[in-house]
Structure 1
Amino acid sequence: MDVHVISKQDPAHHEVPPSSSPNRRSHLRPPPSGLTYAMLGTAWKWWDTYPVPRTAPAPYNDPAAWGIVPAWGYATVLESTIPNLPAGTSIFGYWPASGHAVDLQMTPRRPHDGHWTEVSPHRRGLFWLYNQYTSVVDKIPAKDPETLGWECAVRTIWTCGYLLSEYVFTPYPAAHPPLHPCPGAQWTAAEDADLSHAVVISLGASTKTGRSFAHNLACRPAGTGPLAFLQVTSAPAAIADATTKLAPPFPTKTMSYSDIAGAAVEEWLASKQASKIVLVNFGRRDGGVEQVLGLIQNNPALKAARLVFIGVGFQQKVYTVEELFGLGTLNTSSIMEAALGVVDPRKFYDEVDERWNYWLVNRKSAAPDLRMVWGKGVVGGQGLEGDWESLCKSQLKPEEALVYRLYDGKQARHI
C-alpha cells in the first residue's frame, strides 16, 4: 500500500515512495492529517505514533529523516486476539495518514464499554489522548457516510471547543472545578475562569476549532457570560450568518482583520465595562494578535481589564522553528484527561456525545458554509499527497472539511 512520508526537517517536503512488501500481516487497518502534527512532531512525540515501515525503500526508511503524520478517523480490525474486539469491528482513533495496515496493542480503560488504550512501548511519550481508541461495532452500520465524515473531520477538533467552554471557562458556579488551559497549572480561584464579567475575542473564528468554541459558548445558560463575543475572521459574512442562526444569549460582533482597528469596535468593547478580556487565538493571520493588543492598549477602559491570552491553533502555513516556539499552544489531551479526573467518565462521555449530536443536528446553523470534501487514496491531486501540498501553501479554504477513503484492497477506511 502507498505510504505518505513527511520530512521531519521540512514538512513542506513530502513523498509517496514506491510500494514494497504489501503482504505484511497486521491487526488493524487505518487512516489523514494536520500540519500542526508535523510541525510539533518531534517535540510532542507525534512522529513516534506510526514509524515509517521498515519495508519502505531507502532513503524513506530512515526514521531520523522521515515520518508519517497521524490523523483522526475510523479503521477496521482485520485480525484480533483481544476479547471484545473481534475482526470487523470499527474503531475511532488516531491513525497514520497512509494506506498501510498497522498492529496495535490494546487494553480496556474506564468506562470499559468500548474504550481502549494503546500501550505499545514506542508510544509511551505521546499525550494521553493520542493513545485512546473507541470501538463502535454496533454503531457504524447505522451511520451514514456524511455523519462518519463529520466525525472524522471535525469531532476531535470540536471537542477542544467544548472543553474550553465547559471545563476551562466553566459556567459559574459549576458542579466541577474549572481547569487551567496549561498542563500542570491551576486557576488561582474559581472566579478566574468566570466569563460573566468578561468579553471574549476569538481570532481565527472561521477555523473549525473557532467555530466549535462559538457553538459551545452559544449553548451556555443565560447569565453565565460572556458579556460580549467578538469574532475576527477572514470570512466575516459566513461567521456572522452562523452567529445569527445560533442566537447566543450575549451580544456578538463579527469582523474582518482589516476592521480590528476601527473606532466602532473599540467603543463597542469598552461599553461592556468588562473586568476581564479573554483573547483566544485559533490560528490568526499574521499581525492579528498585535492588532488586538494595540486596540486594548490604546483604550484606558480596555487596558484596565485583566487580559487572559490562550493560544489554540496556528495559521495554515509552514513555520520556522523560531516562530513555532514563540507561540503558546493549548493541548486538548491535557484538559480532557484532567476533566475525566473531576467527573465520572461515563457522565463525561455521555454529555460530550449529547452536545456533539446536537451540533450534528444543527450543523447548518452552527456552520452553514462548512462543506465536506472527500479525497481518494494517498497518491495524486485528489488524495493526501495533493492536499498536503495545498495545506503547506495555505491554499485550503476555511470552509472545507477534508475526509479521505483509504483502501487496502479489501475494505475502505475513513479519516
Structure 2
Amino acid sequence: MASIQLISKTNYAIQTVVPLPLPSTPLLAPDTIRIRSRILGLTTNLLKCAKLGAARLPGLDWYNIWPFPFATAPEPFNDPSKYCRIGAWGYSEVVESTIPSLTVGTFLYGYQPIGSVPEELKLKAVDDVPGGWVEISERRKDMVGIYNFYLETETDDENDRNRESKGWDALMQPLFCTSWMLNRFVFDWTGEESNRVHPLGVDSDLPWTKEDANLKGATVILLAASAKTGLAFAQQLRHGRPEFEQPSKIVAVGSEDSKAFTASTGWFDEILGYHDVDDAPGLLLDSGNKPAKVLLVDFGARGGAADRWATALRPMCERLQVVLLGADPSFNGQIELLSLARQPGSGVTQSNAGRQWEMAREMLGARKYTDEFAAAWNAFKAEGAVKGLNLVWGRGIDGFKEGWDVLARGEGRSDVGLVYGRV
C-alpha cells in the first residue's frame, strides 16, 4: 500500500491521508514514466493554492493536475466534489519508464504529487534545454507551463552530500524564481521594451512602461516581508541589479514575531509591524519632501493590511505603485485593491508568475532563460540562501500532514523551512 493527501475544497485545514494500492499493471504506453515523490517543500503558498483552486483560474487548475482516486479511496474521501489533491515542489524518482533516455532511478525536479503513490507522466523532451521535459497529457494541457516543466538530475539517497541543496530547491526555488522574474523582467532596469514583462505576464494592450519598471531611487515597501518570496525579492533588489539602479530604501512590514528574523537578513533599511501604518508618513517624509515613487508589494499580508497601507501611503508620495503578489489564505474578507487592479490607471496590478515565466522564456529562449535563472539560483544558495532560515526535515506523508496542520493553524515560524524526504 501507498498513500496520498486529500484536502477539503471548502476548508484547506481539513485534510486526510488516504491509503491506496500500488499500480498493479506494468507501464506500456510510449513516452510515459511513473514517478514517486522523494523530497517535497511545504510553504504557506501551498495553502493558498488549496484555497484558490476552487476558482479554477485560467492556467491554474491546481485541483486537477493529479488524478483523483475516486474509484479506490474510502468513503467519504472518494467524492471529488468535496475533496481534492494539489501538488508540491520538489524531487521525484523515476520508478518505471518507457522512455529509453529517462532511466529508472533518475530524479526529476518540478511540481510533484503529495504522497507515495507512483503517478504517470507523459513527457516530451525540450530540445534546447538539456535534461528538460514537458508533461503533455490531456488533463494538463491548459496549465501554465511552469507546472508542466521537469528538469532531470542525478539520483539521490539518504546520505547524498547534495541533500541540503535539494532541500533548498524543494523549499524555495519556485519562490525565488518568482522574485527573480520580478526583479529581472517586471522591474527591468535597462529601459528596453524588449527586456520588460508586464506583472500579469501577458502580451496585450495593458501598458507597462519604462517608468512603471523604474525603481532607481524609489522607496520599496514589502508587506509580509518575511514570506520566502518577499525575502527573495529583497535579496534580488540588493544583489540582483546594478547598484545605481537600486531603490533608495527597502522597508519590511510584517508581524511582530517576524521582525527580529527579518532584520537579521540584512536586506532591509527599516523593519515595521503591520500596526505601524500610522508611522508611514514619518517613514516617507523624513527628508521633508514627498518621495517621487513608492512601490508597495503585497506578499500575503494578514487581513486587510494591504488596503490600510495603500490608503496611508497614497497622499504621502508623488506616485504610489502597488503590486499584489501573495494572499493570506486565512483571510476571507474583501480586499479593495483587488478591484482597483482591474481598473486601468489605478496604479494597482496583480502579478502572475506563471505567465511571466512563459513570456520571459519566449523573450530569451528556453535555453538562455534556464541557464540565466540557474546561475542566479545557484549563486543565492552558494551565499547561504537566507540568513537565519533553517531547513527542518521531516519524513513521509504523515510528517507532511503534521507540517500542513502547523501552517493551517497559523503556527509556522518565519525562520523555519519545512522539507520532507521519502514522502
TM-score above 0.5: yes
Matched with 1:212 is 232
Residue in 1 that maps onto 2:265 = 242
CA distance in 2, matches of 1:117, 1:320: 36
Aligned to 1:73: 90
**175 and 4 in structure 1: CA distance in 2 versus 1, 3 angstrom threshold:** same
Q: Given the alignment, which residue of 321, 331, 335 partners 2:352?
A: 331
**Paired residue secondary structure (1:83):** coil
Question: Once the two structures are superposed, what CA deviation does each residue of 1:95-137 show, in whole Å capped at 9, x if it has no partner?
Answer: 1112211000000124231111101111123221111111113
1:51 partner letter: P
Identity of aligned residues (%): 28
1:63 corresponds to which letter in structure 2?
P
CA contact (8 A) 1:51 1:63 kept: no
1:85–1:107 CA distance, 2 compared to 1 (3 A): same
CA distance in 2, matches of 1:295, 1:324: 14
Q: Using the alignment, how far apart are the partners of 1:82 and 1:321 within structure 2?
A: 49
CA spacing shift, 1:269–1:133, aligned 2, 3 Å: farther
One of 10, 27, 30 as aligned partner of 2:37: 30
**1:270/1:61 CA distance change after superposition, 3 Å:** farther
Aligned equivalent of 1:412: none
Partners of 1:100 and 1:138 in 2: CA distance: 19
Any stretches of 5+ residues in structure 1 without a counterpart? 408-415
Instruction: Output the CA distance in 2 between the equivalents of 1:233 and 1:103.
Output: 41
How large is the Cα RMSD of the aligned pairs?
Answer: 2.6
Question: What corresponds to 1:396 in structure 2?
Answer: 412
Query: Do the aligned partners of residues 114 and 285 (structure 1) sit closer, same or farther apart at CA in structure 2, a change above 3 Å counting?
Result: same
Mean Cα deviation higher: 115-124 or 225-234: 225-234
Give the equivalent residue in structure 2 for 1:253: 270
User: Does 2:149 correspond to 1:129?
Assistant: no
Moved more, 319-328 or 234-243: 319-328
Q: Secondary structure at the match of 2:407?
A: helix
Aligned to 2:128: 111
| Distance change in 2, residues 1:147/1:41 (3 Å) | same
2:198 counterpart letter in structure 1: H
Change over 3 Å in CA distance of 1:268–1:242 after alignment to 2 = farther
Which of 264, 274, 280 aligns to 2:282? It is 264
Greater shift in the superposed pair: 55-64 or 162-171: 55-64
- Match for residue 411 of structure 1? none
- Does residue 391 of structure 2 align to residue 369 of structure 1? no
Deviations 1:228-255 (A, max 9, x none): 2211122222222212xx5xxxx83222
In the alignment, which residue of structure 1 is the partner of 2:221? 201
2:322 — aligned with what? Answer: 309
> How far has the Cα of 1:326 moved from its partner?
4.8
How far 1:73 sits from its partner (Å)?
0.5
Aligned residues: 389
Contact 1:5-1:14 at 8 Å conserved across structures: yes
For 1:307-351, what per-residue CA distance to the aligned partner results, in whole angstroms no more than 9, with x for missing partners? 221111122x43448669958752221101100111132222222
Instruction: Tell me which amino acid in the other structure corresponds to 2:22.
Output: P
> Residue by residue, what CA displacement relative to the aligned partner does 1:51-78 show, whole Å, maximum 9, x if unpaired?
2223222332222221112000001101
Aligned to 1:261, what secondary structure does the other structure show?
helix
* Residues 389, 416 of structure 2: 8 Å contact kept: yes
Deviates more, 1:367-376 or 1:170-179: 170-179
Amino acid of the structure 1 residue aligned with 2:323: I
Is 1:224 the counterpart of 2:241 in the alignment? no
Which string of whole-angstrom CA distances, capped at 9 and with x for unpartnered residues, describes residues 270-298 of structure 1? Answer: 64x53322110011122422332233245
Question: Does the 8 A contact of 2:223 with 2:297 survive in 1?
Answer: yes
Structure having the higher strand fraction is 2
Give the Cα–Cα distance (whole angstroms) in 2 for the partners of residues 134 and 36 of structure 1: 25
Inter-partner Cα distance in structure 1 for 2:227 and 2:362: 29
In structure 2, C-alpha distance between the alignment counterparts of 1:85 and 1:337, rounded to whole Å: 25
Q: Which moved more, 1:252-261 or 1:104-113?
A: 252-261
Paired residues of 2:303 and 2:331 also in contact (CA < 8 A) = no
TM-score (norm 1): 0.86
> Quick one: structure 1 residues 86 and 325, their matched pair in 2 at CA, closer, same or farther if it must change by over 3 Å?
farther
Residue 167 of structure 2 aligns to a residue in which SS?
A: helix
| Conservation of the 8 A alpha-carbon contact between 1:12 and 1:318 | no
User: What is the CA distance between 1:139 and its match in structure 2?
Assistant: 9.1
Give the stretch that moved more between structures: 205-214 or 121-130. 121-130
Kindly tell me: are residues 400 and 269 of structure 1, through their superposed partners in 2, closer, same or farther at Cα, counting changes over 3 Å?
farther
Equivalent in the alignment of 2:13: 12
Relative to 1, partners in 2 of residues 1:197 and 1:90: Cα closer, same or farther, differing over 3 Å? same
- SS of residue paired to 1:78: strand
In structure 1, C-alpha distance between the alignment counterparts of 2:306 and 2:130, rounded to whole Å: 43
